[in-house]
Each structure stands twice: as structure tokens, then as C-alpha cells.
Structure 1
Amino acid sequence: MMTAILTVLRRILNLCRKEFLVILKDPSSRVILLVPALMQSLLFGYAATYDLTNVPYAVLDQSHGAAAVALLARLDGTGVFQRVATLRTDTEIAPVVDTAKALMVLRIGPRFEQQLNAGETATVQLILDGRNSTTAGAAAASVGAVVDAFNVQWRQQHGAAVAPLTVATRAWYNPNLETRWNLMPGMVAALSMIQTLLLTALSVAREREQGTFDQLLVTPMAPLEIMIGKALPSMVIGMLQSTIVLLVTLFWFKVPMAGSLLTLYIGLGFFTLAAVGIGLSISALVTNMQQAMLSTFVLIMPMMLLSGLTTPIRNMPHWLQIATLINPLRFAIDLVQRVYLEGIGLGAMLHNLAPLWIMAAVTLPLAAWLFRNRLV
């Protein structure tokens, strides 16, 4: 009985040893075992934070009184709120919010000083950029805490019986600050990217693993034609997935769309082209499906973390903000959210379309070069 048990254990241990040898004998596999875990833990520690550390805001102070100066000094003294603009008229509010220059605008009315001195309750208006509902909600709560501290000090100094100051909050593009309104449009790009990268990365690796890759050598097709034939199905599937998520967002979750479908799909087309270029480059480099899948999943996590979908990019360290500039998902999510929630046109999308086009212009020729060198 004991001999049989030892025999079974020996076989299991031999099998385990064989699996470890298969995994560890390849230098690239050893790198994949260690580097992604280290890289992702650092990214999570730096990028995945909901703490408010840098909230750009603008001020429209129409009272120009000592009380307004005291309130703004409290706000600036928190170390969280960074004033990026001092406005003079109401017409200047929309541009700083639309361009994401400021996450919020604090509007102080012309009778603010007089109302406080008369013992009345004064109201300041807080205009929030609701396209990032989580950060906007946290910023509103922080402003509320500053106002509460201001009220306590004002009561102590002036003996007011009622709260001297209240905040009237208004969120643009997401009136109720629902997280779903911010998240679901972003998922239109994020979910399609995962499938597009995976399909294109597996396209040639599958051929090599099944032994049919060498047959491409005897076909009359040029490497560019082969690459296009591999890319088009992935692009179609990626756009189809985007459409499915878009329909769910529109009709199931009933998140209203402000922009044009044509504008949205032009942006998604640029993004899918860039994602296909990355996937084809991976596919041309790897030798089997396992490597293709591992390489894809290693890329997906940092791209999601550095996209700004769940945590604001402005809260990340400066060196990580620079790293997001080579992430196509960052530009795609901003593009989709602005078209969907804000209703921008093609002209306002150029700062997102240009980086996606540059990425596609770099990765697609790189993939073609890799294909040509692997096929000949």
C-alpha cells in the first residue's frame, strides 16, 4: 500500500518537475513570470488611486470682497485644489470645463459680501465636470468641507445664527454624477481593445503552432497582403464589440448620447487601427499561442490602468502621465466619453485622433516589416 502511494507521489512530482522545466527553460517565460507582477504592482500603487491630490479649478469672483478672498484662501490652502484660471465673465466658464482645463469652477456672485455682512445666507455655485463622476463627487465633498470650516470661523467672528454660506452644485454632462455615465462610454473602447489585441496577436501565432505558417511562403500573396488579411477580421470584430457595448449603454442602461454616431465610429476606427497595429506586431514576434496570450495580457493591464478610465491621469506621478502618451486607450476613452456625453464634433477630436493616427502609422509598418522578415 505504501509502495503504491509513493509511486503515485513520484509520478506527480516528476510531472511537476517537467512542467517547471518547460516553463523555466525559456528565457522569455522567466521574464514574464517576474516582470509583469513587479510592473503591475508598481502601477497599481501609483496609478490606481482615488485620492484627490491635484484638482485644477477656476474661479469667477464677482464680489471682489474680503470674504471671497478668505474663502478662496482656505480652498487654495488645502494643497489639493490648484487654481488654473481666474475668470471675468460667465461666458468663460464653458471653455475651461469643455477642454478639461479645470475639473470645477467656483462662481461667487456679486452680492456675496453684502449678504454675509447682512446676516443672510449666501450661495456659491460649484460647476463640476461630470465626465469623471468619481473625482467630481470627491471634489464636491472636499469643497463642502472647506465651506463648513469657513462657516465655523465666520460664526465665531461675527456671531451668525444661521450657516452663512451654502454651496449649490451643478454637474455638467452627468447631472446626477452617476458612475455608470462615466464608465459605460469608456467601456465601448476598453472592451473592444481586449478582443482586438488578443485576436490579432493570436493570428500568426496560431499558424505557427498548427504548422501552417510555412504554407504562406509558397502562396503568391505579399507580406502586406497577408497582414491586411489578418488585420481586417480583427478590426471588424472589434468594431462589432464596440457596437454591442454601445447598444447596451444606450438601451439597457439608458445613458443618453449627446454626440453623432458617425463621429463616434470615425474615432473608434482610428483606435481600432492602432490596436490592430500593436496586436500584429506582437503576433509577428511571438512563436506560439501561449506567448501571444501572455504578451497580450501583460500589455492589457498597464493599458487599462493608464487609460484614465477609473482613476484620473492628473493624479498620477508626472512620469506616469508621460507614459500614458503612448497608450492608445487613453485617447480612445477620452474621445468616446466626450463624443458620447459632451457631443463634440470632429474638429474638437483632433488632439485625440492625431496620436491614434501616429501610433497606427508606427505599428502597422513595423508589423509589415516583421512579417516580411519572418516570411522570407
Structure 2
Amino acid sequence: MRRLRAMIVKEIWAVLRDPKTRIVLIVPPFLQLFIFAFATTLDVKNAELAVLDRSGGRTAVELVQRIEGSPNIHRVRRLASEADLADAIDDQHVIAALVIPEGFDRDVAAGRPAGVGLVLDGRRSNAAQILAGYVQQIAADLGGELKPQVTKVAGSSEVTAWYNPALDYIWFTLPSLIAIIVSVAGLAITSQTVARERELGTFDQLMVSPLRVHEILMGKMVPPLLVGTLNGTLYMVAARVVFGVPFTGSLLLFYLSLLVYMLALIGVGMLVSAASQTQQQAFLGSFLATTPLILLSGYASPIDNMPGWLQIVTYADPARYFLVIVQGLFLKAMPASAVFGQLWPLALIACLTLTAAAWLFRARME
């Protein structure tokens, strides 16, 4: 224990004394937290919409005014012709253009079905479809008020959003960012450990020291484990206090899952570090490991949308499991049985990566 304690203290001081490592510890995680929290959102706000009103009647004006009053619409651009509509879409001045035909008000007054057209910018397909949903909802609300008897006959439906009643996208983003940013910081720190020893010329001293291989590895695992736990705690507090995201689950399960997740990441980082000769190689290797870890986790796009063979690959991604755990603990008080259902594959990945890292480290020492 004396040797192990000395190794842990030595590694902690090595991390704190290195200016580059200190910067990696402090600046990027907080920048990523606040930038990603506001930038990675699928909500469409402050959008510009064009309107080509060929009717000019009272109902058409009412529809346009309601669209202008929507909190998601920043500006409504009035158009005079189809050429103006084409230019507005082509030049990306607007995401969508609403076309109200000439007979729109006559059809409404006569009780006939009245429709409008909506032209979307396919280059921004996701935002355009979301904006189209806003416009369709506004038009449907107006139609329901104009013909309440039709609405009454057709019936009504009540939509309830579980776990996120306001459908606030940041409630999904912030818990997910805990998994993503912790992984970035954890891999960046761990990947530098052995490479730093080689670059500074102290790796040979470790080889002739009385320390055993497992003691060296355990000593190098403690600093990134502490940093990951600290970052996870700070992000969880920031999500609740600064952004108002509720945490409804168990803190004990959260820290247990974070510990196992960090061990899996440390195993990957140690593999990269043991295979690298310089810190620059280790940095590039950690970046190479971080990119697929994020993309295959389900954070950027749902795993169900990926090809079948790629979905199989995601089972080797530790972020896939921790992402489910952290979202469940934040938003829906995930029970222990469900947490352990995601935790055992994470523990298996941790065992495999740490074992592989120990084997490679021992092979590079010989």
C-alpha cells in the first residue's frame, strides 16, 4: 500500500504540475458544457418565414398575424411574387415560405375546404420540418375556431409528454452532455500518462522501480478517475441549478455508474497511451477514439436510425450504456434493476479494456 500510495501521489502531482494538463482539466470542459448546452438543440427558434398572400382576405390576414405572433418565428417576410419566393429560398433568407391561394377566403366563407401551400428549404431539412409542424399547428388551431362544429364531431385528443412535460430540448441535452464531456476529458487525461513518461524519459525509471505492473496502472488510473468524478458532479449541479433540469433518480446509482463508466474510459485511454511514443501521438489517438465514441453513443443521432451492422458495433461503445443511465436517472427516476441492466455491459467493457491495457503495458515494458 505504501508503494501504491506513493505512485498515486506522484501521478496527481504530475497532472497538476503540467500546464497543458491543467488547461485540459479546467477550460475545455466548462466551455463545452455551456457551448453545447445552447448550440446542440433541435428546437427551431427565431426562424424567418416568407408569406406570399394572394388572397388578402380577413382569414388570410388572421393566419399571418398568428404566425407572426408565434414565439418561434422571429420575422415574417412579405413576398409579392413567385420569383421573390424562389429568391428568398435560394438565398437562404428564409427556411420556409407560406403560399395562400387566391380563393382561400372565398372557400372559408362558403364552408368549403380551404388549403394553403408551404415551400420548405430541403437543404435545412430538419429545421424546415420542425417549422412546418409549427405552421400546421397554427393553421389547425385557426381552422378549429372557424368550424368548431367540425372539431366537435371529429373529436379531440390530449397529448401528454412524460418525463419532459414542456418538451424542453435542454432536458435531453444536459444529461447527455455529462456522458460526452466526461468521456472527452477522461480520455484526454488518461492517454497522456504513459506517453508523458516516455517523452520525459522517466519510463525507464518505472521499469527498474520496485513497483509492479498492476501498481503502476492503478496509480495512473486514480487521477483521471478523480477528475471524472469531479467533472460529473459539477455538471450535475450545473444542470440542476443553472439550467433547471431535474434529477429524479438515485445519487448512489449515479456515482456507481459514473465509476464503472470512467473505468471503461480509462481502459481505452491506457490502451492509447501504451501504444503511443509521444504526447502528440497520444493526443491524436485519444481524438481518434473520442469521435466514434460520441457518434455511436446515440447522442448525435438515434442508434435505431443507423445501419444494422453499425448498430452491432455500438454495443462496444461504453457511452451508449451510460447515456441511457444518466438520462434515466435525471428524468424518470430509473429503478436499480433497469440501471444494472445497462451497467453490466459497461462493467464487461471496463474489464476487457483494462485487461488489454495491462497486457499492452507489460509488453511495452519488456
Give the counterpart letter for 1:306 in structure 2: L
Partner residue of 1:292? 282
CA RMSD for the aligned pairs? 3.1
Distance 2:198 2:155 in 1: 70
Structure 1 range deviating more: 219-228 or 166-175: 166-175
Gap change, CA 1:218 and 1:167, over 3 Å in 2: same
Distance apart, 1:372 and its partner CA: 1.1
Return the offset for 1:167: 3.3
The one of 272, 283, 295 equivalent to 1:305 is 295
Residue matched to 1:318: 308
Hey, what's the Cα distance between the residues in 1 that align with 2:359 and 2:156?
A: 63
CA distances 1:285-336 after superposition (whole Å, capped 9, x unpaired)? 1111111100111121111111112321111221221111111011111110
The one-letter amino acid of 2:289's match is L
| 1:367 matched to 2:357 | yes
> Aligned match of 2:174 in 177, 181, 184?
184
Q: 1:174 aligns with which of 159, 164, 167?
A: 164
Amino acid at match of 1:226: I
Alpha-carbon spacing, 1:267–1:307, altered in 2? closer, same or farther (3 Å): same
Give the Cα–Cα distance (whole angstroms) in 2 for the partners of residues 229 and 325 of structure 1. Answer: 29
In 2, Cα distance between the equivalents of 1:298 and 1:163? 59
- d(CA) in 2 for partners of 1:161 and 1:141? 19
CA distance in 2, matches of 1:167, 1:270: 44
What residue number does 2:270 align with?
Answer: 280
Could you tell me how far 1:160 is from its partner in structure 2? 4.4
1:198 maps to what in 2? Answer: 188
The equivalent residue for 2:338 is 348
Aligned mate of 1:252, from 242, 245, 252:
242
User: For residues 257-311 of structure 1, what are the alpha-carbon distances to aligned partners after superposition, in whole Å with 9 as ceiling and x for unaligned?
Assistant: 1111111111111111100111111111111111110011112111111111232
Q: Kindly provide the CA deviation profile for residues 58-89 of structure 1, in whole angstroms up to 9, marking residues without a partner as x.
A: xxxxxxxxxxxxxxxxxxxxxxxxxxxxxxxx
The answer for the alignment partner of 1:214 in structure 2 is 204
Deviations 1:74-125 (A, max 9, x none): xxxxxxxxxxxxxxxxxxxxxxxxxxxxxxxxxxxxxxxxxxxxxxxxxxxx
- Whether 2:260 is the aligned partner of 1:270: answer yes
CA contact (8 A) 1:188 1:243 kept: no
Q: Which residue of 2 aligns with 1:237?
A: 227
2:251 is aligned with 1:261: yes
Structure-2 separation of matches of 1:204 and 1:341: 39
* 8 A Cα contact 1:264 1:340, kept in partner: no
In structure 2, what residue type is equivalent to 1:242? G
Equivalent residues of 1:274, 1:356 under 8 A apart: yes
Q: Answer whether contact 1:306 1:324 (CA < 8 A) is retained.
A: yes
The secondary structure found in structure 1 opposite 2:157 is strand
| Secondary structure of 1:166's aligned partner | coil
Deviations 1:16-42 (A, max 9, x none): xxxxxxxxxxxxxxxxxxxxxxxxxxx
After superposition, give the CA deviation of every residue in 1:340-363 in whole Å (9 maximum; x if it has no partner): 111012211122101111101101
- Asked if 1:164 is matched to 2:158, the reply is no
Normalised by the length of structure 2, the TM-score is 0.59
The 5-angstrom pairing of residues 144-163 of structure 1 reads 160=150
Q: Give TM-score scaled by structure 1 length.
A: 0.58
- Between stretches 357-366 and 340-349, larger displacement belongs to 340-349
The answer to whether the aligner puts 1:227 opposite 2:217 as a matched pair is yes
| Distance in 1 of aligned mates of 2:248 and 2:329 | 7
Q: Percent identity?
A: 38
Structure 2 regions of 5+ residues with no counterpart? 1-39, 43-125
Contact 1:314 1:321 in 2 (8 A): yes
In the alignment, the residues of structure 2 paired with residue 285 and residue 367 of structure 1 have an alpha-carbon distance, to the nearest angstrom, of 9
How many Å apart are 1:165 and its aligned residue?
A: 4.1
After superposing on structure 2, the runs of 4+ consecutive aligned residues of structure 1 that deviate more than 6 Å are: none
Going from structure 1 to structure 2, the CA distance change for 1:217 and 1:168 (only over 3 Å counts) comes to same
| Aligned-partner Cα distance in 2 for 1:326–1:161 | 50
SS at match of 2:167: coil
AA partner of residue 360 (structure 2): L
Q: Equivalents in 2 of 1:269, 1:161: separation in Å?
A: 54
5+ residue gaps, structure 1, are 1-47, 51-133
Q: Quote the Cα distance in structure 2 between the aligned partners of 1:310 and 1:365.
A: 30
2:158 aligned counterpart, secondary structure: strand
Q: Tell whether the 8 Å contact from 1:200 to 1:231 is kept in structure 2 after alignment.
A: yes
Letter in 2 for 1:355: P
Q: Quick one: distance in 1 between partners of 2:157 and 2:295?
A: 33
Determine the C-alpha separation between the residues in 2 that align with 1:141 and 1:268.
38
The total of aligned residue pairs comes to 236
